Structure 1
């Protein structure tokens, strides 16, 4: 009976895998729209989606801490992604203190502390298990474009120009901070369970965060974008949310496929990231 239940799901995943890239992209878009419609129907206060996103992110970090403390290995983890995460969190904390201090500031502080702990473990305590040769995406290739774009496209508030540029920088950097981790997974081709759970949690968290913004824009009929300011900045905020969601979409597909197939590890074909 269990095998019969899996057979239709396996047939669907096999059919999807055989489709050309454009068809897969279209199916992913349809799935995202369906998920947004479902969330709009069942979630009354869309701010809860943002809280849920932070909760899922915290769960992912908890899994990471479990891996580092129990297994005593950081194999498969990208130190550079953790450093980029710490960087955008530190910048966002500074901006929150000087621009809009709220509960999210406290949550960001907690996330930054745990991220710094993860960096410490990888860089010092578990350095012998760190896959330096696989973590080969240069940080400047991620940071430099974000810095350049933030210089030209940033909020139009009354805050100082430096603070506005820094705020834009952390928004753009958050969207692409996971790229080194994806490079590590692509280089290794096999992702062990806890690392896979962590990256999948990031994907879910970013989708919920993106859903929060998209549904807010829909419900306010675009007025939210006006509140964010004028020029290209409001659109770039929304685009950044969408980009960071779809960056992880392909991995999440293979993660779900592996879980359905009963596999303990996620195997990535060439060209996934």
Structure 2
């Protein structure tokens, strides 16, 4: 636990007192600094994508431990897991018909564990599932993602339905964590294993976003051109950024809680 005179605690207390505009500016500055450091340290930026997959795997491992050892799914959103399974299944289909690579195998493993988590929550640990708190309506994200996919999708030579499916999974992945955030917003208290899992998602999505941003910078915009023309390239990049910033606020309070020596994360009103 940090002492009251700890420099880190002092910095966190100073940040908490700042107005929202200052916090937003400092957050953008921190992200830009992190990107500069990653660009200098990691020469092969594909390693960032691998690191993102590794961190995501760690998060899933924490989730598996919670479900098998703690015998409870309290605090977890079944709807977030279902959205994850949907976009992974669609992405796997696109990978098989468009470009099969190592990421296809990684997605297959992730989908298998996600389906197992869904099974555990829905059947084996149903009594501990907080259904009343998991009240995010899925059509709030499914319908907009489908509409965006119909309107804005890759301009490649693939079949139009495959291109729409590809766009749909990109958009859905960006917002799939929203039901989980709603559960945490409703409960206000997040137990450790759920907090670790969601934090791992935040870190993984930041690394994935950094991978795309640095690839665009290194190619001097050439990557966006390679993705096609029209609104699709910027929408891909925007989706990656949205994924990161959706979890940014939670990650801040998670880090603050860890440095404060608290095992249980308590979220103030208005967070997530």
How far does the alpha carbon of each residue in 1:70-122 deviate from its partner, in whole angstroms, 9 at most, with x for none?
A: 00000000000000000000000000000000000000000000000000000
- Whether 1:150 and 2:149 are equivalent positions in the alignment is yes
> In structure 2, do the counterparts of structure 1 residues 221 and 130 end up closer, same or farther at CA, with 3 Å as the change threshold?
same
Report the Cα distance in structure 1 between the residues aligned to 2:204 and 2:153, rounded to whole angstroms. Answer: 24
Please report how far the alpha carbon of residue 3 of structure 1 lies from its aligned counterpart in structure 2 after TM superposition: 2.4
Task: Kindly indicate whether residue 265 of structure 2 is the aligned counterpart of residue 262 of structure 1.
Answer: no
| Cα distance per residue 1:29-79 (max 9 Å; x no partner) | 111011101100110100000000001001100000000000000000000
Equivalences, count: 272
After TM superposition, the runs of 4+ consecutive aligned structure 1 residues lying more than 3 A away are none
CA contact (8 A) 2:81 2:114 kept: yes
- Aligned partners of 2:107, 2:149: CA distance in 1, in Å? 21
Is 1:199 paired with 2:202?
no
C-alpha distance in structure 2 between counterparts of 1:205 and 1:2, whole Å: 27
CA apart distance, 1:231: 0.1
Alignment of structure 1 residues 215-234 onto 2, 5 Å: 215-234=214-233
Does the 8 Å CA contact 2:49/2:208 hold for their aligned counterparts?
yes
State the alpha-carbon separation in 1 of the partners of residues 166 and 253 from structure 2.
33
- Cα displacement (A) at 1:266: 1.0
Q: Once superposed, what is the RMSD of the aligned Cα atoms?
A: 1.1
1:44 equivalenced with 2:43 (yes/no): yes
Q: Distance in 2 between matches of 1:2 and 1:65?
A: 30
**1:184-234: CA deviations, max 9, x gaps?**
001000100010000000000000000000000000100000000000000
- Aligned counterparts of 1:179 and 1:22: Cα–Cα separation in 2: 24
The 5 A counterparts of 1:1-273 are 3=3, 7-273=6-272
Show CA shifts across 1:156-210 (max 9, x none).
0000110000000000000000000000001000100010000000000000000
Native 8 Å contact 2:62 2:193 kept in 1:
yes
Q: Distance in 1 between matches of 2:41 and 2:124?
A: 45
Alpha-carbon distance change, 236 to 2 in structure 1, aligned in 2, over 3 angstroms: closer
> For 2:84 and 2:22, how far apart are their aligned partners in 1?
33
Alpha-carbon offset, residue 19 of structure 1: 1.5
In structure 2, runs of 5+ residues without a counterpart are none
Return the TM-score normalized by structure 2: 0.98
C-alpha separation in 2, matches of 1:2 and 1:268: 19
